[in-house]
Structure 1
Amino acid sequence: MLSQVSKEDLPRPFLKWAGGKSRLIPTYHTFFPNDFQNYYEPFIGGGAVFFYLYNRPKEAFLTDINSELINTYNCVKNHLYELINILQYHEKQHNKDYYYQMRTTVEDSEVKKAARLIYLNKTCFNGLYRENSKGKFNVPMGRYKKPNICDSSSLRLASLALQSAEIKVRSFEHVLDDAINEDDFVYFDPPYYPVSSTSNFTSYSRYSFHEKEQNQLREVFGELAKRGVKVMLSNSDTSFIRDLYKEFHIHTVLAGRSINSNAKKRGVINELLITSY
């Protein structure tokens, strides 16, 4: 039973991710449905919810439009030890010059690309994944005295959990191709709708996510709900989102904000958790 397993033996995110849900799991866990067979997460990000639920569904389907991210998940699943070896090399070489060299490096294999993403994620500013319009990673180096670049234990646990998951590059609307009834549970964690004009960070890749995409997501949410699929979604607490999902169950939760250009604006804020059940 999970209660008999130490926290260190449970899978957890191997990436730092802006908007990651690790700290919200204690709040979220009471909202997860009790019964489901298949789990779908179309914005996988850091994967905190998947890793928390990994032993409950028979099958998991993890997708994202970010091909670099999906490649990394697949390499953790299928090429673990080669990946660890490369990360150990990055860890030994790490310094400022090496970071900026790696930031511009174009790797020639999938596993090297995955190791590069993990290395940059562990050493960049606030663990923020961001691409410019050309798809180039453009985050400056963070101020870490000794970053944990190769967390072998975390990677091994994650790899074990991912063995039962199907991992693909897909945009969120394709979940409609697979989730069909009450045996399915879909969790959406999209780029949040901005709470102000100065917080308009709506994409971790070259692909934007604005009102048009938020409306498309609402249509997908509604169609899944009509099928009897159990659907849960996280987003910012704004009048736009509240109005968009007014037909469903809207729950207010407290969340910590750790990424803001103004340190004084980091702290606890309201977010929304929306469920179809």
Structure 2
Amino acid sequence: MIAVGRGRRRAKKRESGTLSTRVRRIWEVVTTTLALLTAVYLVLNTIEPTRMVLERYVLKLNVEALTAIVAIMLEVAIVAVYQLGRQVRAMRAELGPRQDTRIVNDVGAVVDAVKRLSAEGRRSERTLDVLGLTLNTTWPQLAAWLTGHDAPSHWRITLYSLDPAYLERSDELPGYWSSEAARSQERIRERAEEEAEDLAHRRIKLELRTYACLPAVHGFRLGNGDLFLAYLQWTEAGSIRPFEFYEHIPREDQSARANRYRDLFDSWLARAATKATPAVQ
């Protein structure tokens, strides 16, 4: 009964809103029509032959008639100003300051999206592919989520990290990345070994792979279609560093542009996979 009552109230509100909209539109049409007719009358009244016809058959322009015309024009002006104000307010509300949800500045925002998927998504969507660099900032946040109080279950997580040996040989990537990647990979292995029983109990499959190729495109791919893309950039000094943000391609965005970005990430992930060797499972 409560649901029915709410449905009736919503229906009445919709009907009321529709009625008020129709009345407003009718009033706008009437006032606009009167304004046009008044304007035509005033123009024709300046022409001697038509003025005589108008005074004889329509209306003689006197003080009373002028007062009525001024009132009509004032009403039209008020309606026009009101409508213009509504449109300006709507535009300001639409163009006002707002966050760009397609740009995220740190890994924490990506992990938040993973947590939302874990809480609200289907079990079949609980996959995460991380095409990373050294995983120095990514792994600590993922580890805190995987082993925290609200630990997830039924996940398949694949982590790609740059091969330290490849980094040592590279003359383009920063040299310190080699030791940083080695430390991160050791931490991942240690945590995976320590939590092996618990992870298996919660049906979490964690896989670490190292790869040996330039990761110009990297980021995160979630099983629900969400994608977080980042890139490498050249500095003025001629060195490489990660880009400042991740571009978020939401799962509901199925535009040609979004799907091209998905293809782009998939191609780089496939390239890393061909250059990867399993490290821990």
Give TM-score scaled by structure 1 length: 0.25
- By relative contact order (CA 8 Å, sep 6+), the higher-ranking structure is 1
Q: Is the radius of gyration larger for structure 1 or structure 2?
A: 2
The two structures have a TM-score, normalised by structure 2, of 0.25
Query: Which structure shows the bigger proportion of residues in helix conformation?
Result: 2
